[in-house]
Amino acid sequence: MELLINLSINGLATGLLLFLLASGLSLIFGLMDVLNFSHGALFAWGAYAGVWAYSVTGSFVAGIAAALIAGVVLGFLLERFIIQPVYGNHIRQILITLGMMLVLNELLKVVWGPDQKSAATPSYLSGSWLLGDVTLIKYRLFIIVVGLIVFVLLYYLLNHTRMGLIVRAGVINKEMVQALGINIHRVFMGVFILGSALAALAGALFAPYSGVIYAELGMEFAILAFIVVVIGGMGNIVGSLMAALLVGLTGAYLAYFVPELSLAANMLLMAVILLWKPSGLFGVKR
């Protein structure tokens, strides 16, 4: 029983990290219909910015703030100069965002060097609690709490605020929203920046969780983020959460019980779900 609880906590922590990354991609991909393959690079930049600021200031909060600032700035620049000219053209979006992924990865090496960087956990989040025979690692519980808080805030924003209504209406009929005097391009820019900030936040939280970061981190996690978005259903935040938890828990259990399948588990999971429901768990046909 203790083993199952520990594996579940590990899977939940990994799943909610994936949710933070995939939720931003779900907003950009599902709501804005933008294929942003540079999303993983924002994850890596958030990790590096967070580790750098933490090492300089000694404050984990400052590291999180630095990661969010990096995500906001890069998100604004990407949307303004890279994404806007290719709205509505998926082929060009794929090509130009893949190119930006490579450029941002190389810029990471220019700014912080090509070597791996170690990432420390803040003292007040290191260690664990013992609950009977179960070991509860503080930092993993912290990630779970942050991920759930972000989910609640995003769900409220999209479903119970005027801004969320405008975003959803803009996806359905952009011209009608513009006719009502709303600058839909500015709204979409805000959505893109929010998604970029969430990716950077995921990177900043991942660094102490992993203990080491490297430039190619973004490419690896971008694939996982797309898997989560496709499994959950494009543009559906609840679906992204459920899919991320499913991917995280499946990976944790298979890595322990059937390690030979752990590398292929995510692709197999996606294939099975799409064969059963091609639009994803919570997706709708378009």
Say what the pLDDT of residue 71 is. 96
Radius of gyration of the chain (CA): 19
Give the tokens for residue 64: 């999180």
Tell me if residue 235 falls in helix, strand or coil. Answer: coil
- 273-278 average pLDDT score: 86
Q: For residue 285, what pLDDT band results from cuts at 50, 70 and 90?
A: low
pLDDT at 132 > cutoff 80: no
- 69-75 average pLDDT score: 96
Q: Which of 26-30, 78-82, 141-145 has the lowest mean pLDDT?
A: 26-30
The domain limits of the chain are 2-215
Give which of 198, 189, 206, 266 is closest to 232, Cα–Cα.
Answer: 266
pLDDT at 173 > cutoff 80: no
Give which of 229, 219, 197, 221 is closest to 97, Cα–Cα.
Answer: 219
More confident residue, 23 or 201: 201
Q: Which of 164-173, 195-204, 209-218, 263-272 has the lowest mean pLDDT?
A: 164-173
Given phi > 0 = left and psi -120 to 50 = alpha, else beta, which region is 58? Answer: left
Determine what percent of the chain is predicted with pLDDT higher than 90: 51
